[in-house]
Structure 1
Amino acid sequence: MHEAIKSRLKGSIAPVITPFTNDHELDLNKLSELIEFQLENGSHGISVTGTSGEPSSLTVTEREQVMETAIQTTNGRVPVAPGTGSTNHDETMHLTKRAQEMGADAAMVIVPYYNKPNQHALYRHFKTVADSVDIPIIIYNIPGRTAQNLHVDTLARLVEDCPNIIGAKESNKDFEHVNRVLLKCGRDFLLFSGIELLCYPMLAIGGSGSISATANVEPKKVADLHNAWLEGDVATAQRLHYELMPLNDVLFMDTNPAPVKAALGMMGKIDPALRLPMDLPSEELQGKIRQTLQEYYIEV
């Protein structure tokens, strides 16, 4: 049933930030421009309202507006997989259903953060959400943000019981864990890296691509890494992996998406505004970001 989207949902799925005006209102026109920037530079898919999109700083209505703008702007040119998860179960259900109604290709549903449910509760949460829709589901496991790790056996059970759970974004530094995901869930399971330095290694074990915040700033190199791998050009993929490392490092010296927004502001793409409790990086780090962008010949 979901084979068509599984064949398309691969490569660099850019997790686009949510731009605000300088008075902290949504800037949907800028969002459309950022999505066009991604498509012009070869990104293979678009995601919004994931970690890079500051979803916890948005109202439910604003999240719907961002999702709708992304879907309309992309207009079927590449798949769109918005983040629909929340720490609130009913809110997650609502947003996932809305993503389906809007015509999203898949929904990315995060492990609930802060409340730290056990594995049985996580199974019930994800199964209830998956059973409520027909849209393909990508589970988003990011234990550094959620304080809970979705165990491989729990994920495998969900995949067996819910045909529309087709993949996972693993922002998990435990590389043994992500290897076991493909062993237990099947080699056709879509596995995306959310850890920048593991984007290339994930491809080597059979991963489907990445959902990397760095794609906001350097989309072409991130997409080209995946293109090279798919073409069997391992040397180019390795070269791009190492070329991207300094940029990856500087963009994660503070909490994502603050450094990414600072970089995009320097590039003239957005007003680099975040909503409290998030804020821009220190002046010292902004200086390092600017220097790194210049080293990549990015105009600032």
Structure 2
Amino acid sequence: MAYEEIKQRLRGSIAPVITPFDSEGNIDFETMKKLIDWQIESGSHGISVTGTSGEPSSLTIEERKRVMETAKKAVNGRVPFIPATGSTNHAETLELTKFAQEIGADAAMVIVPYYNRPSQQALYKHFKAVADSVDIPIIIYNIPGRTAVNLEVRTMARLVEDCPNIIGVKESNKDFEHVNRVLLYCGRNFLLFSGIELLCYPMLAIGGAGSISATANVAPAKVAEMHNAWFEGDVKRAQDLHFELMELNDILFMETNPGPVKAALGMMGKITPKLRLPLDLPSEEIQEKIRQTLVKYNLLTEVTS
């Protein structure tokens, strides 16, 4: 299968949509559909679910499948749909990635397994087995701050050489030298997405394809506009938006994602601000800072108690 067509479509701001819960902690599928509509109407270039922002480790396998299926139907082909299908469990990753193919996802995003800290050879075997199990494109998700292991560039390049459907990576990696070498060794046409908010613009500047940024949950139009400006050649506008978004980026990561994002969306009236334990909403002090920042960005019309 040729993957060039989908590689051309997978560009810009891919919004990693949160999983909304009701006050009892059940998945609120109707609200999720509304969030996806809002994202697409706001200009997001793609939709992802059940990634870090979607609290996948708090969901059962069946819940993850239902979220993926519901989101696929809500997107309805308007933009690319890239569910996250990875897990620390190899068999679960295979099952979820195959399910993504069954429901017609445009690609699947597969995280480096967390907690168990596999070797580079074990990571190679894991990702190759996943890629070999499906025909859809695979985007690796490398987030060493949460997985406690980094997928090294040489390992990634080996996977790209051996697995034609591994077409890109979401790099939530603060090591910008590493990120540069991804494109050097995996090829300049390899899709590089930023998962670090303050590196979204810099990654575009070295040839990145876009970002999969939690901030897009809260300010989808601004995040999409930054990418549009860059792709249209308006470098000054893209730079201005990069710096304009910086304070919002910072406030949304004062505690573990997606706690601040869900607090913000709750203040904006988009969701019931609920997480499943062991995650929780940020402290009242941080929530007040979030509220003030939302007002500053015209995402709230007034400060409410």
In structure 1, C-alpha distance between the alignment counterparts of 2:15 and 2:256, rounded to whole Å: 18
Helix, strand or coil at the partner of 1:13: strand
C-alpha distance after superposition, 1:206-236 (max 9, x if no partner): 0000000000000000000000000000000
Match of 1:24 in 2: 25
Match of 1:278 in 2: 279
Match of 1:44 in 2: 45
Alignment of 1:234-249 (within 5 A): 234-249=235-250
Match of 1:137 in 2: 138
In structure 1, C-alpha distance between the alignment counterparts of 2:190 and 2:149, rounded to whole Å: 22
Alignment of 1:1-300 (within 5 A): 1-299=2-300
Quote the offset at 1:129 in angstroms.
Answer: 0.4
TM-score, normalised via structure 1 length: 1.00
Amino acid aligned to 2:174: K
In structure 1, C-alpha distance between the alignment counterparts of 2:298 and 2:143, rounded to whole Å: 32
Amino acid aligned to 2:202: P
Helix, strand or coil at the partner of 1:279: coil
Quote the offset at 1:52 in angstroms.
Answer: 0.2
In structure 1, C-alpha distance between the alignment counterparts of 2:262 and 2:276, rounded to whole Å: 12
> Alignment RMSD, CA only?
0.5
In structure 2, C-alpha distance between the alignment counterparts of 1:63 and 1:40, rounded to whole Å: 24
C-alpha distance after superposition, 1:155-180 (max 9, x if no partner): 00000000000000000000000000
Helix, strand or coil at the partner of 1:109: strand
Helix, strand or coil at the partner of 1:76: coil
In structure 1, C-alpha distance between the alignment counterparts of 2:236 and 2:266, rounded to whole Å: 33
Helix, strand or coil at the partner of 1:166: strand
In structure 2, C-alpha distance between the alignment counterparts of 1:113 and 1:27, rounded to whole Å: 27
Helix, strand or coil at the partner of 1:65: helix
Quote the offset at 1:237 in angstroms.
Answer: 0.1
Amino acid aligned to 2:175: D
C-alpha distance after superposition, 1:72-129 (max 9, x if no partner): 0000000000000000000000000000000000000000000000000000000000
Quote the offset at 1:299 in angstroms.
Answer: 2.1
Q: How many residues align?
A: 300
Quote the offset at 1:18 in angstroms.
Answer: 0.2
Q: Please, which runs of 5 or more residues in structure 2 have no aligned partner?
A: none
Quote the offset at 1:4 in angstroms.
Answer: 1.0
Quote the offset at 1:250 in angstroms.
Answer: 0.2
In structure 1, C-alpha distance between the alignment counterparts of 2:300 and 2:150, rounded to whole Å: 39
Identity among equivalent positions (%) equals: 75
In structure 2, C-alpha distance between the alignment counterparts of 1:283 and 1:37, rounded to whole Å: 27
In structure 2, C-alpha distance between the alignment counterparts of 1:38 and 1:26, rounded to whole Å: 19
Helix, strand or coil at the partner of 1:273: coil
Amino acid aligned to 1:55: P
Amino acid aligned to 1:33: K
TM-score, normalised via structure 2 length: 0.98
Question: Deviation above 4 Å: which 4+ runs of structure 1?
Answer: none
In structure 1, C-alpha distance between the alignment counterparts of 2:94 and 2:158, rounded to whole Å: 20
Helix, strand or coil at the partner of 1:140: strand
